[in-house]
Amino acid sequence: MTTEPSGRGLAAQVASPVGSRRVEETLRHMTAVFGLLFTLQTVPLLVTGWPEAGSPLGLAIVVAMGGVVLTAALAVVLHQWTKPVFIAGALTYLVALAAWPASVVGPWPPEQMPWLLAAAGVPCGLMVVATRGALPVVYLVVTAAAVGLLRTLPSGGSLTPVGAARDGAVVLLLGLALLFVVAVIRRAARNVDDAQGTALGSYANAQIDEAIESERVRTDALVHDSVLTTFLSAAAAGTPEGRSLAARMAQNAMTVLSRATVASHVGPKVAVEGLLDQVKRDAAGVGDRFEFRMQRVRDHFLPDAVADAVVSATVQAMTNSVKHAGGPEVPRTVVVEGVEGGGVRVAIADRGRGFDLSAVASERLGLRVSIMERMRRVGGEVALTTAPGEGTEFVLSWPAASHPGVEVAERGEAVPA
């Protein structure tokens, strides 16, 4: 029987439920947009206070903070290095606060908030979204204390301790409120992940239980048609001819049962030479993006169910490549190769974007069910090689390395090796 108990853990093999992944992506986008808008609101304060903050060091601080906001937005758009860019931007703000007193050439008007202090919400948001645990809390406390301290200095307006503490408290409370909202959203996303994982696990179990039951019924039929008939014949055999017939029937029954361990469906009816034509027909909408090749396929045959699974999995892998790897300029190949012992290997490769397997959403059944589980059900296996920017290659193999090999008889019928 080819349905393996390990298939019940399929839901855990491809991580990244939709909840947390999409929530984190949305939080990063919102933080980038918030940073741009909030920074623009501080421009009038910057223009008003330029006589006091227009020193070379003050200009360097302006450039640095502008670079922080633009770099964070660019990282979000490109989906690259978002976390380290956010953290670096937040730390850059602390350096800017430390340099602020030296950048101001004269006393700051007490009624006016310095533009750098007014922008404290931007780095706080970056740190809250990029980190978890105690680190964002520590950062908020340090930033609020620094803002309050600077407000007591001439470069910050020379406020009274009460006024300075009020401004620092506003920064801290806003940061903590943001931290609370983000924590609640993340907790809700985790709950969605758990519910989704449970549902997908139940679905996988139901599919496997159905396959097991189908295999049990098929095996019961084999036992009834072959084994029991052999036992009855042996019991009734009273002559040498009868005993010889019973022996031949027993040998035939053993052969039939042994074939059932090779794959769920035995008896190849499809020549591997015709497999590629079927793939081209089923993938008519995307097949023009691929180069097709065949190697060593003569005298190789597959069971109907195996051929169907290989074709369906191949078409799904091709469709995924066209959808996600890039445009027509991306080189793509499909190579069908006969392997020793009568099996087949199909390699679907592209030189496109590639992807992080751990980032594939668990609700995406194309990879999990249409490709991996489909091959596993007929005794095959799937090897996947991919990385962001490195392209993707699916290798579909039948039979799997963990299953007995098959060899091809003269009439193209699969028999146990």
Whether residues 39 and 173 share a domain: the answer is yes
pLDDT digits (tens, 9 = 90+) for 162-211: 988 998 999 999 989 988 998 888 888 888 777 777 777 677 667 666 66
Q: At 216, is the pLDDT very low, low, confident or very high (cuts 50, 70, 90)? A: low
Whether residues 94 and 187 share a domain: the answer is yes
145 within a domain of the structure (yes/no): yes
248 within a domain of the structure (yes/no): no
Q: What is the pLDDT of residue 406?
A: 36
CA distance 29 to 231: 72
Whether residues 144 and 26 share a domain: the answer is yes
Whether residues 164 and 73 share a domain: the answer is yes
Over residues 218-234, mean pLDDT = 58
* Burial of 37: CB neighbours in 10 Å, binned 0-12, 13-18, 19+: exposed
Q: What is the pLDDT of residue 201?
A: 67
Q: At 305, is the pLDDT very low, low, confident or very high (cuts 50, 70, 90)? A: confident
1 within a domain of the structure (yes/no): no
Q: Which helix (H) or strand (E) holds 160?
A: none
**What domain range includes position 133?**
10-195
Q: What is the pLDDT of residue 417?
A: 32
Over residues 394-412, mean pLDDT = 56
Whether residues 189 and 285 share a domain: the answer is no
Q: What is the pLDDT of residue 268?
A: 45
185 within a domain of the structure (yes/no): yes
262 within a domain of the structure (yes/no): no
Q: Which helix (H) or strand (E) holds 402?
A: none
Whether residue 220 is predicted with pLDDT greater than 90 in this model: the reply is no
Write down the residue that tokens 């390990």 correspond to. 6
- The domain boundary residue, chosen from 168, 195, 222: 195
CA distance 13 to 219: 30
Of 224-233, 234-243, 248-257, 309-318, the range with the highest mean pLDDT is: 309-318
Q: What is the pLDDT of residue 395?
A: 92
224 within a domain of the structure (yes/no): no
151 within a domain of the structure (yes/no): yes
Whether residues 278 and 131 share a domain: the answer is no
Whether residue 366 is predicted with pLDDT greater than 60 in this model: the reply is no
Total number of domains in the chain: 2
- The domain boundary residue, chosen from 195, 230, 250: 195
Residue 77 to residues 25, 91, 123, 390, Cα–Cα distance (Å): 10, 21, 18, 20
Q: At 402, is the pLDDT very low, low, confident or very high (cuts 50, 70, 90)? A: very low
- The domain boundary residue, chosen from 156, 173, 195: 195
Residue 306 to residues 303, 361, 386, 415, Cα–Cα distance (Å): 5, 27, 25, 15
More confident residue, 10 or 49: 49
More confident residue, 248 or 181: 181
Whether residues 124 and 25 share a domain: the answer is yes
Whether residues 170 and 279 share a domain: the answer is no
Q: What is the mean pLDDT of the chain?
A: 77
Whether residues 287 and 399 share a domain: the answer is yes
Whether residues 176 and 318 share a domain: the answer is no
Of 39-48, 119-128, 226-235, the range with the highest mean pLDDT is: 119-128
Backbone angles phi, psi at 315, to 5 degrees: -65, -40
99 within a domain of the structure (yes/no): yes
Q: What is the pLDDT of residue 264?
A: 44
Q: What's the CATH number where 281 sits?
A: 3.30.565.10
Whether residues 400 and 303 share a domain: the answer is yes
Whether residue 15 is predicted with pLDDT greater than 50 in this model: the reply is no
pTM recorded for the entire structure = 0.51
Q: What is the pLDDT of residue 94?
A: 92
pLDDT digits (tens, 9 = 90+) for 94-109: 999 999 898 888 788 8
pLDDT digits (tens, 9 = 90+) for 110-160: 888 888 888 888 899 989 898 888 999 999 999 999 999 998 998 888 888
Whether residues 69 and 153 share a domain: the answer is yes
